[in-house]
Amino acid sequence: MAGRGRPPRLEPRGTPPTPPEPLTPERLLERGKVAGPGAAPGRTELRSIVERLAAGDRRTLAGLAPTPGFSLIDAWAAVRTVFGATPEAPAVDAALALAACDRAAARVDAVAAAGGTVAFACSVPASLLGVHAVLATRARAGGAVVPSPDDSGAIRADGRAGRRLRWFAGIAVVSDGRSLLATDDPEVAREWLFVTGRPTLVVADGPFATVAWEDGIEVVALTGPDRPALAPAAARGERCTVIPMRTDRPPSAYDPLVERLGAPAAADVRQEETPGSTLPPG
């Protein structure tokens, strides 16, 4: 008989499963360890970093001069305000990172609208070049001057000779002529600032950001709680906007930040807006 021995036809029962909701930008940043607990040192290490920041340790301050009267309470207040990290919960707050993107974009837009100069420098191009690139594109589109000179002469960087500064789409990086290299050398940053001149605004990370701020230039800095030298200035609103993040992740991990920085600036983001802080004015 036809059909004999065949399994019964199965009819669907109930409703099909609901597809999962798309991940929010905050969750994507946490999953990529650009933000969240994976973006910060552990409790013991972070406590040590903040204690050294309060003590005026020159290495932790990346060569910046200590602030007289700056206490451990002040140091934790700055780290909490800028990164969202506390002694009990070492992390980078993803919401703070996205809000800082809005403020950074607003500053770039304001400088560009006035025809100012925005200089870019990246100390970890394997991770952060894309973040810089979207802001450099934004600056040029808004009318800013973005310096992009020819290669510098040969320099010594991080103890190695034969290096030079090379500009990639307006972003300064260290190169050996074949590869883009990371740097942690403040002398390289000083050479870059000499070649660039005195821009209205600097967008940078690593030593490029701290050297520019030290020279009295307004800075948008990409940094994490492992390098909190500019956190006190950012918490006080002293010509510094920090976009908090871990700075050594794969480029795709920063996509939520790239999308946020490339979007039109929110209408309610004021140029002077900074995070609230318990720190005294500088």
pLDDT tens, position by position, 208-235: 999 999 999 999 999 999 999 999 999 9
Neighbours of 153 (CB within 10 A): 9
The string of pLDDT tens digits covering residues 130-168 is 999 999 999 999 999 999 999 999 999 989 999 999 999
Answer whether 62's CB lies under 8 Å from 241's CB.
no
**pLDDT per residue over 53-92, tens digit each?**
999 999 999 999 998 999 999 999 999 999 999 999 999 9
Residues 6+ apart with CB under 8 A from 24: none
The pLDDT value given to residue 263: 87
Q: What is the pLDDT of residue 273?
A: 43
Reading phi first (left if > 0) and then psi (alpha if -120 to 50, else beta), residue 56 is in: left
The whole model's pTM is what?
Answer: 0.87
pLDDT for res 271: 40
Domain spans of the chain, in order of start: 25-262
For the cut 70, the answer to whether the pLDDT of residue 275 exceeds it is: no
Rg of the Cα atoms in the chain: 22
Asked whether the CA dihedral 134, 140, 143, 146 is positive or negative, the reply is: positive
Q: How far is CA 106 from CA 126, 168, 195, 266, in A?
A: 26, 23, 26, 8
Per-residue pLDDT averaged across 43-60, rounded? Answer: 96
pLDDT computed for residue 274 by the predictor: 42
